[in-house]
Amino acid sequence: MDLTFTLLSKFNQLDMQVEHRDALGKLLQQGDCVAYPVQNTLMIGVITKVNKRMVRIKSVVPKRSFDKNRYPTDVVKLEGPEVSLFILKNSDAK
């Protein structure tokens, strides 16, 4: 029983140390703002969860606020004041 518990705890520790990088090599974490493709358009969203192989992204545009799983190499991390302005401008808060 101790061996099973030890193996499970080691597996859970490895599972929590998932590290993803975007198309430009930047480290992706929960809460980061990213650009990602949807059909023929480019959307902007926030990473809500980091899975083993993919990241879950929620769109910042309220009309299209559904979650999407994307491979990390399919997204690009966005930084800077322009991103903050876009989020404030397109958020649902009045």
pLDDT for the residue 71 = 95
> Structural domain boundaries of the chain?
20-90
Q: List, for residues 34-89, the tens digit of each pLDDT value.
A: 999 988 988 899 999 999 999 999 988 877 667 889 999 999 999 988 888 887 88
Distance CA 73, CA 36 (A): 10
Rounded to 5°, the CA angle 24-25-27 comes to: 120
pLDDT for the residue 23 = 92
Q: Are 40 and 48 in contact (CB under 8 A)?
A: no
> Burial, 61: exposed, middle or buried (Cβ in 10 Å; 0-12, 13-18, 19+)?
middle
Please state which of the four CATH numbers 2.40.50.100, 3.90.1170.50, 3.30.390.30, 2.30.30.430 is assigned to the domain occupying 20-90.
Answer: 2.30.30.430
pLDDT for the residue 29 = 94
pLDDT for the residue 90 = 76
Q: How confident is the model at residue 21 (pLDDT cuts 50, 70, 90)?
A: very high
Q: Is the pTM of this model over 0.85?
A: no
pLDDT for the residue 11 = 55
